[in-house]
Structure 1
Amino acid sequence: MSELILVRHAQASFGAENYDVLSDRGHRQSAWLGELLAGYGLRPDRLATGTMRRHTETLDGIRKAFGDLPETEEHAGFNEYDFSGLLNAHHGGQAPEDLHTDRRSHFRALRQTLVAWQNDEIADPPERFSAFVGRVEEARRVMCRPGADRVLAVTSGGPVAQIVGTALGMAPAARIELNLQVKNTAVTRFIFTERAFYLHSFNETPHLDPLDRIAQRTYS
């Protein structure tokens, strides 16, 4: 059996002009995760990210603890859905500013928007939900091809929840709740063969468990 380790990216820059850049805290989270994985001897022999900057910066932080690792594959299927674009589309083209900048308002509205998106109730979304499901599954399938014992992929909360939900046969609506609780640099692990794919653990952050790091846990 082989192992797939999915890592949600480190803390990005919520509310900033460019969300896709890791915060200083995000860089620390990435480095701590790399140290933990290396300390446990969890050296990947296949690596991947989505094409987003927050994915590649997170993997850069993880790499520092290992030295040489395989070249990174990029798969757009691991990219997050366009949550800002979905919020705007759900609100007729432009969502109120606070839905993009205020965390509480943002996540309350996002939950409602994702339900509408899954039900194909949003006119002209940046991406159809069915297309998101398809590209995430294709990225998972490509990364779980034969030839590697341990695969590590840095992605986002949406793809993590989608892959977990598929593995467990969960209804799409239930995957929203998974999506919104995935922590930055959380580890979700699967066991797979050519014919099987099983969830092993979800949303682990042992590198943030020490008392002096608990305040470093983040969700965006």
Structure 2
Amino acid sequence: MAELLVIRHAQASFGQDNYDRLSDLGHEQSRVVGDALRASGWEPDRLITGTLTRQKETLASMGFSEPPEEHPGLNEYDFHDLLRVRFNGTIPDLVMGDRKTHFRTLRETILDWQKGGLSGAKESWRDFETRVAAARAFATDTDAKRVLVISSGGPIGQLTARALDAPDAQMMALNLQVKNTSLTRFIFSNRAFFLHEFNATPHLADAARAHLLTYS
């Protein structure tokens, strides 16, 4: 059996014009999780990211120098597009600027999307499901025994929900729990794929690193 270790990207730039880049704290989170993996003796045989800048920057700041493979199925759903469709083109300032309002609204929006709503969005829920499944197939079609993936909260929630054979709505409950640089581990073979660990942050357990724990 082999391991697929999926790490959510570090803290991005919430509330900024360009969300798709790491904050200074995000670079620190990345360094800490990379050091923790090496200290534990866990060295990957294969590196994969999505195509998003925040995912690539996370891997780079983790200190792994080999160029990764990329798969767009590991990218986050386009939440800005989904919110624009929901609000007819103009997202209210409160939704984008207030974290509590943002994530409550995002949850409601994704649940509607899953049920076939938000006609006109760039990507349907079924398309999202299909590309995440394709990314899983890509990552596990390998002779590597330790595959390290840098992804985002939505795909991690979806991979976990499918491994548990959970209903669609459970994906969003999982998605909203996923912490920056958390570890979600799957065990796989040609015939099996199951969850071993979800959303773990042992590298942030020390009280001196409590300030590094973030969700967005």
TM bracket (short chain): over 0.9
Match of 2:78 among 82, 93, 100: 82
Match of 1:176 among 172, 175, 196: 172
**Pairing of 1:150-189 with structure 2 (within 5 A):** 150-189=146-185
Q: Deviations over 1:150-200 (max 9, x none)?
A: 000000000000000000000011111100010000000000000100100
> What is the letter of the counterpart of residue 91 of structure 2?
A
Percent identity (aligned): 49
Quote the offset at 1:30 in angstroms: 0.2
C-alpha separation in 2, matches of 1:72 and 1:23: 21
Partner in structure 2 of residue 43 of structure 1: 43
**Over aligned residues, Cα RMSD in angstroms?**
0.9
C-alpha separation in 2, matches of 1:206 and 1:215: 14
> What is the letter of the counterpart of residue 47 of structure 1?
L
Partner in structure 2 of residue 12 of structure 1: 12
C-alpha separation in 1, matches of 2:44 and 2:139: 12
Q: Work out the number of aligned pairs and report it.
A: 216
C-alpha separation in 2, matches of 1:177 and 1:143: 24
> Normalising by the residue count of structure 1, what TM-score does the alignment of the two structures yield?
0.96
**Pairing of 1:58-73 with structure 2 (within 5 A):** 58-62=58-62, 64=63, 69=66, 71-73=67-69
Matched, 1:115 2:99: no
Structure 1's consecutive aligned runs of 4 or more residues displaced over 4 angstroms after TM superposition are none
Question: Secondary structure of the equivalent of 1:212?
Answer: helix
Structure 1 gaps of 5+ residues are none
Q: Deviations over 1:23-74 (max 9, x none)?
A: 0100000000000000111100011000000000000011x2x5x54x3101
C-alpha separation in 1, matches of 2:123 and 2:136: 19
Matched, 1:137 2:142: no
Q: Deviations over 1:112-132 (max 9, x none)?
A: 000100001112012100000
> Normalising by the residue count of structure 2, what TM-score does the alignment of the two structures yield?
0.98
> What is the letter of the counterpart of residue 48 of structure 2?
A
C-alpha separation in 2, matches of 1:127 and 1:76: 13
C-alpha separation in 1, matches of 2:87 and 2:116: 14
> What is the letter of the counterpart of residue 213 of structure 1?
R
Conserved 8 A contact 1:90-1:123: no
